[in-house]
Amino acid sequence: MSRAEPQIGYGRPPKSTRFRKGQSGNPRGRQKERHREIPYDTVLGQMVTIREDGRERRVTAAEAFLLQLTQKSLSGDSAAARYSLDAIEAARPSPADNDPYPSKIVLSSIATGADAIIGLLGIAIQRRPTDEARARWELNPWIVEAALARLGDCQLTEDEQREVWNATRTTHKVKWPAWWRYFGR
C-alpha cells in the first residue's frame, strides 16, 4: 500500500462508497409512522352478537362492553362500578356544551342472579319477558314434582295448590301426588 492512499477498514470505507456531497445518506427519507394508534372507532364500532334472556341480538362492541361493565358493577364489582360511573360522566355533556338536545344513555340489564340461574338450569321458562306488566316465570314439570316430593308428609292447602298449579308450565305432564286436590277449576 502506498502512503498516498489512506487505509481502509473499520470506520474508513473506500472513497468510492463514501457519502457524496449533496446526496443524502438516507435517500428514501425517514419512514412514515405506521398506524400506532389503536383503531378505537373501528374496533368498538364492529357488530357483535349478545344473548339476553335467551334471545340473541346484535349490538356494537362499545355497547356490549358497556352492558358487560354495567352488569359486573350491578353484581357488586366495585372496580367495574367505578369504571361505569366514569364512562357515564364522560358521556354526559359538560355545561359548556350548550347543546339543546342532551345525550341519552340507555342501558338494558342482562339477566343476572337468580333469574339467570333459573333459566340456565331449566327450572322455569320466562313468559313475555319484554312485557313488564305480564312477564312471569313458569315452572317446568320436573321441578314441581321434585319440590312436592321434598314435602314428604306435609300437604299444601287448596290456595297453595292453586298457586303452584298456576305457576306450572305444563300441568298435564306433572305426576301430581295422591293427596293433590286442585286441578284447574
**Co-location of 119 and 79 in the same domain:** no
- For residue 31, tell me if it sits in a domain: no
> How many helices (H) and strands (E) are present in the chain, helices listed first?
6, 4
Q: Is the pLDDT of residue 166 over 70?
A: yes
* The pLDDT value given to residue 99: 58
- For residue 102, tell me if it sits in a domain: no
pTM of the model: 0.40
Q: Which residue has the cell 335467551?
A: 54
- For residue 184, tell me if it sits in a domain: no
- For residue 145, tell me if it sits in a domain: yes
In angstroms and rounded to an integer, the radius of gyration of the C-alpha atoms of the chain is 35
- For residue 60, tell me if it sits in a domain: yes
Which distant-in-sequence residues (6+ apart) come within 8 Å of 169 by Cβ?
A: 124, 125, 138, 139, 140, 141
Where in the sequence is the domain holding 58, given as residue range(s)?
40-91
**Co-location of 77 and 125 in the same domain:** no
- For residue 179, tell me if it sits in a domain: no
**Co-location of 117 and 164 in the same domain:** yes
- For residue 66, tell me if it sits in a domain: yes
Q: Is the pLDDT of residue 156 over 80?
A: yes
The per-residue pLDDT for range 113-150, each reduced to its tens digit, is 666 677 777 788 878 777 777 777 888 889 889 889 88
> Looking at 91, 121, 151, which one is the last position of a domain?
91
Of 63, 61, 58, give the one whose Cα is nearest residue 39.
61
Q: Count up the domains in the chain and report the number.
A: 2
Least confident of 74-78, 149-153, 169-173: 74-78
Asked if 139 contacts 124 with a C-beta cutoff of 8 angstroms, the reply is yes
